[in-house]
Amino acid sequence: MDMLLEALASLMTFESIITVLVGVSAGLLIGSLPGLTATMALAVLLPFTFSMEPLQGLVALGAVYMGSIYGGAFTAILINTPGTPSSIATTFDGYPMARQGRAYEALAGATIASVIGGLVGVTFLLLLAPPLARWAVAFGPSEMFWVAMLGLTLVASLSSGSLLKGMIGGCIGMLLSTVGVSPVGWETRFTFGFPAMQGGIELIVALIGLFVIPELLSMAAEGRSNITESGEFGKAKVGIRQVARHILGKPVNIIRSCLIGQVIAIIPGAGGNVTSLVAYNEAKRFSKDPQSFGKGNIDGVVASESSNNVMVAGSMIPLLTLGIPGAPPDAIILGVLLMHGLRPGLDLFTESGVLTNGFILSMGMAALMLLPVGLLGARLIHKVVIKTPYHFMVPAIAMVTILGTFALRNSLLDVGIMMIMGIAGYFLRLIGIHAAPIVLGLILGGIAEQGYVQTMLAAVVDPIPWLRLVENPLSKVLAALVVLGAATAMLPAWLERSGRLDKGSPNRGDDS
Amino acid sequence: MILRVNTDMAAGGFGLGFAALLWLGGTDIGRLSILFPRAVLVILVAFSLLLFVKGFFRPGERSIEISGSPLRLLVLILLLLVWWFAIGKLGFVVSSFLIMLFITWFLARVEGPVSWKRLLLWTPIIAVMVGGFYSIFTQVLNVRLPSGLLF
pLDDT tens sequence across A312-324: 788 787 777 766 6
Nearest by CB: A391 against B50, B96, B108: B108
Q: Which residues of A touch B75 (CB under 8 A)?
A: 220
**Measured between CB atoms, does B32 come within 8 Å of chain A?**
yes
Question: How far apart are the C-alpha atoms of B77 and B82, rounded to whole Å?
Answer: 9
**Tens-place pLDDT, residues A223-271:** 765 544 444 555 556 677 888 888 888 888 888 988 888 887 776 555 5
Residue A57 to chain B, least CA–CA distance (Å): 18
> Would you give the end-to-end CA distance of chain A in angstroms?
50
**Measured between CB atoms, does A199 come within 8 Å of chain B?**
no
Higher pLDDT, A313 or A491: A313
Residue B105 to chain A, least CA–CA distance (Å): 8
Helices (H) and strands (E) in chain B, counts: 5, 2
Question: How far apart are the C-alpha atoms of A464 and A136, rounded to whole Å?
Answer: 27
Give which of A30, A40, A212, A392 to mutate to test B binding, by max B Cβ within 10 Å: A392
Give the pLDDT confidence score for residue A327 in this predicted structure.
66
- Work out the pLDDT band at A393, boundaries 50, 70, 90: confident
Most confident of A433-442, A503-512, B67-76: B67-76
Burial-class residue B113 by CB neighbours within 10 Å (0-12, 13-18, 19+).
Answer: exposed
Question: How far apart are the C-alpha atoms of A145 and A445, rounded to whole Å?
Answer: 9
pLDDT at A97 exceeding the cut of 80: yes
Contacts for A23 with CB less than 8 Å, ≥ 6 apart:
A45, A59, A60, A61, A62, A63, A64, A66, A67, A366
Give mean pLDDT, residues A495-510: 48
Residue A355 to chain B, least CA–CA distance (Å): 29
Supply φ then ψ for residue B2, to 5 degrees: -105, 125
Rounded to 5, what percent of chain A is helix, strand, coil?
Answer: 75, 0, 25
Do residue A184 and residue B32 have CB atoms under 8 angstroms apart? yes
Contacts for A75 with CB less than 8 Å, ≥ 6 apart:
A32, A33, A34, A81, A82, A83, A87
Question: How far apart are the C-alpha atoms of A66 and A23, rounded to whole Å?
Answer: 9
Give mean pLDDT, residues A69-97: 81
Higher pLDDT, A386 or B53: B53
Which of A278-282, B51-55, B105-109 shows the lowest mean pLDDT across its residues?
A278-282
Burial-class residue A470 by CB neighbours within 10 Å (0-12, 13-18, 19+).
Answer: middle
Higher pLDDT, A36 or A461: A461
Q: What pTM was estimated for this model as a whole?
A: 0.72
Give which of B18, B22, B23, B33 to mutate to test A binding, by max A Cβ within 10 Å: B33
Give mean pLDDT, residues A442-453: 84
Contacts for B72 with CB less than 8 Å, ≥ 6 apart:
A220, A221, A223, B106, B107, B110
Higher pLDDT, A231 or A439: A439
Instruction: Give this complex's ipTM.
Output: 0.93
Give which of B28, B34, B40 to mutate to test A binding, by max A Cβ within 10 Å: B40
Q: Which residues of A touch B119 (CB under 8 A)?
A: none
Nearest by CB: A403 against B50, B67, B133: B133
Supply φ then ψ for residue A509, to 5 degrees: 60, 30
Helices (H), A159-293: 163-177, 203-222, 240-249, 251-265, 271-286
Give the pLDDT confidence score for residue A504 in this predicted structure.
40
Give the pLDDT confidence score for residue A351 in this predicted structure.
73
Give mean pLDDT, residues A186-205: 82
- Work out the pLDDT band at B126, boundaries 50, 70, 90: very high
Q: Which residues of A touch B43 (CB under 8 A)?
A: 167, 171
- Using the Cα atoms of residue A497, residue A499, residue A502 and residue A503 in order, give the sign of their dihedral: positive
| Strand spans (E) along B2-145 | 2-4, 63-65
**Tens-place pLDDT, residues B8-23:** 899 999 999 999 998 8
Give mean pLDDT, residues A183-209: 81
Give the pLDDT confidence score for residue B102 in this predicted structure.
94
pLDDT at A132 exceeding the cut of 70: no
Most confident of A201-215, A260-274, A342-356, B76-90: B76-90
Give mean pLDDT, residues A25-52: 72
Which residue in chain B is spatially nearest to A414 when comparing CA positions? B84
Question: How far apart are the C-alpha atoms of A108 and A68, rounded to whole Å?
Answer: 16
Yes or no: say if A455 and A159 are a contact pair by the CB < 8 Å rule: no
- Chain-wide mean pLDDT for chain B? 88
Helices (H), A50-201: 54-79, 88-99, 103-136, 141-152, 154-158, 163-177
Do residue A189 and residue B34 have CB atoms under 8 angstroms apart? yes
pLDDT at A156 exceeding the cut of 80: no
Nearest by CB: B35 against A192, A445, A453: A453
